Amino acid sequence: MSGYVTNIERDTIANKNFRRVLYTGPNMQLVLMTLQPGEDIGLEVHVDHDQFIRVEEGVGVVLLDGTEHSLGDGSAVVILASVEHNVVNTSSDKPLRLYTLYSPPEHADGTVHRTKREAEAAETKPG
């Protein structure tokens, strides 16, 4: 495949999974995420990955090396490798829907985690 074309806003808003990998190329990966009210991605650091996040729906915050920034529809975040970060849905009743680009890819192609619990369980499996 020479690339990937989709309506990313439609796909992001329709996504009901915590994480869904849409496309994986040799140097970049496109992933949808939906955080439920009060849910977060989890504090993390990607040593060898840059990341871009775009919020399509909802409200929240992103923490970048301890500094908090507000997020809402249309927010974009660039996270450089080795920056400690987390995204938190601060709403009490609405999901936070976003898509993210990893460069290079972070997850196995075709990965779908319906819930954060499922994602955490997959990350702790050996091998």
pLDDT band of residue 55 (cuts 50, 70, 90) is very high
Look over the chain and give the mean of its residue pLDDT values, rounded to a whole number. Answer: 94
Q: What does the pLDDT read at residue 123?
A: 78
* Residue 83 near residue 59 (C-beta atoms within 8 A): no
**Structural domain includes residue 52:** yes
123: CB partners within 8 A, 6+ apart? none
Q: Omega of the bond prior to 104 within 30 degrees of 0, cis?
A: yes
**Structural domain includes residue 85:** yes
**Structural domain includes residue 103:** yes
Q: What is the pLDDT of residues 16-46, one digit of tens each?
A: 999 999 999 999 999 999 999 999 999 999 9
Report the alpha-carbon distance of residue 127 to residue 114 in Å, rounded: 21
**Structural domain includes residue 30:** yes
pLDDT band of residue 90 (cuts 50, 70, 90) is very high
CATH number for the domain harbouring residue 35:
2.60.120.10
Q: What is the pLDDT of residues 63-82, one digit of tens each?
A: 999 999 999 999 999 999 99
**Structural domain includes residue 90:** yes
pLDDT band of residue 107 (cuts 50, 70, 90) is confident
**Structural domain includes residue 76:** yes
**Structural domain includes residue 81:** yes
**Structural domain includes residue 3:** no
Range of the domain at 107: 8-124
- Token pair, residue 117, equals 């619990």
Domain count, the chain: 1
**3 state DSSP class of 68:** strand
